[in-house]
Structure 1
Amino acid sequence: MSFSVEEFEKKYVGRLSDKKMDWDVLAFQEDVDPRYRRAQMRYIGRGATANADASVIEANNFTLSTMVLPSGSIGPLHLHSDVEEVFFILKGEMTVLLQVDGEDYEIELNERDCISVPPGYYRGIRNDGQEDALMLVMLGAPKPQLPTYPEGSELEKVRLERKKEREAIISQADK
């Protein structure tokens, strides 16, 4: 079999020109609280949301996306029990939210700052700046489990309702 740079490029290169900001992928969170509005642009892997996108490079070991958080927006507290999650701030300033043993903590991040949150910690992020913020998000598995939210929260109720929908998307995409 001969190598084709064209086929390699088609399979392994993600171009901004082929992408669009997906403001709908996390709209179920925004339905719970308008401050949860944010957009994702997937490059490698479907991520925990499992939405199919033909321009996304198939993941082998991790997922990679960018996310825009408008001023005042929040990525709500959530827990990945199976993977670490990395937030790398490309533009703006954000506050990482952590909840450990019922205690809330905040860590400020600026441009080009990075945090890696191990599995098992509730984490979220908030844009306290005056402008949209942009970050890179990486999850340490090609198909991470759907995150959970704090017990009894509205988002956890929605997650349980959406669990079957996600499983159907993954099943259909894997055929």
Structure 2
Amino acid sequence: MEFTTVEDFEKKYIARLEDRKLDWNVLKFQEEVDPRYRRAQMRYIGRGATANKDSNVIEANNFTLSTMVLPAGSVGPLHLHSDVEEVFFILEGEMTVLLEHEGKEYEIKMNKRDCVSVPPGIQRGIRNDGEEDAMMLVMLGAAKPQLPTYPEGSELEKIRIERAKERDAIVAQADR
């Protein structure tokens, strides 16, 4: 652990709510495809799979951690992380986990303080079927997870392919 004073430790390893803000733009490209995909992320550890620049996070060593707000009726679209497991821990509200595996679709209702860990290689998404905003904690099992993929031929997959080079450049610059 690298620090010489408790103040140094605090600057490097503490992320306070008062210093965070909801980022409604990080996934705006999805919302532009379908308004139901509107949601916001608040990053704490690492920058997540999108790798958006955020100097106000604890540097990730082994995983990323953020919170996400899904307004009533919003959907986190089906996507696939081939390199990491993804954990959703419901903090507020009720959500439905969406899974697609071997051509079959599944929906699993989740309530406050329920948790799901989705292994790599399984399409996953989440939907807020409630009347109020819902919030979840999201963890990805790598410091710099790969950009997720979306169902083949979908509009989101076309955008992902376009954005992949941009994301790779952000990650490469951060590594310098």
Alignment TM-score > 0.5, same fold:
yes
Aligned counterparts, 1:34-73, within 5 A: 34-73=35-74
Match of 2:169 in 1: 168
2:144 matched to 1:143? yes
Alignment identity in percent? 77
2:105 matched to 1:104? yes
Match of 1:18 in 2: 19
Residue 52 of structure 1: how far off its partner (Å): 1.5
Residue 3 of structure 1: how far off its partner (Å): 2.9
Instruction: Quote the Cα distance in structure 2 between the aligned partners of 1:118 and 1:51.
Output: 24
Residue 64 of structure 1: how far off its partner (Å): 0.2
Tell me, what secondary structure is at the counterpart of 1:29?
helix
Q: Which runs of 5+ in 1 are unaligned?
A: none
Residue 168 of structure 1: how far off its partner (Å): 1.2
The code of the aligned residue for 2:136 comes to M
The code of the aligned residue for 2:46 comes to G
TM-score by length of 1: 0.98
Match of 1:4 in 2: 5
Tell me, what secondary structure is at the counterpart of 2:61?
coil
The code of the aligned residue for 1:137 comes to V
Q: Residues 163 and 2 of structure 1: is their aligned pair in 2 closer, same or farther, counting only changes over 3 Å?
A: closer
Instruction: Quote the Cα distance in structure 1 between the aligned partners of 2:53 and 2:5.
Output: 26
Number of aligned positions between the proteins:
175
Instruction: Quote the Cα distance in structure 2 between the aligned partners of 1:34 and 1:2.
Output: 45
What is the root-mean-square deviation in Å for CA atoms of aligned residues?
1.1
Q: Which runs of 5+ in 2 are unaligned?
A: none
Maintained 8 Å contact 2:3/2:9: no
Structure 1 segments, 4+ long, off by >3 Å, are: none
Tell me, what secondary structure is at the counterpart of 1:35?
helix
Deviations 1:46-71 (A, max 9, x none): 11010111110000000000000000
Tell me, what secondary structure is at the counterpart of 1:150?
coil
Residue 2 of structure 1: how far off its partner (Å): 7.4
Instruction: Quote the Cα distance in structure 1 between the aligned partners of 2:58 and 2:86.
Output: 19
TM-score by length of 2: 0.97
Match of 2:80 in 1: 79
Residue 123 of structure 1: how far off its partner (Å): 0.1
Match of 2:123 in 1: 122
Instruction: Quote the Cα distance in structure 1 between the aligned partners of 2:57 and 2:94.
Output: 27
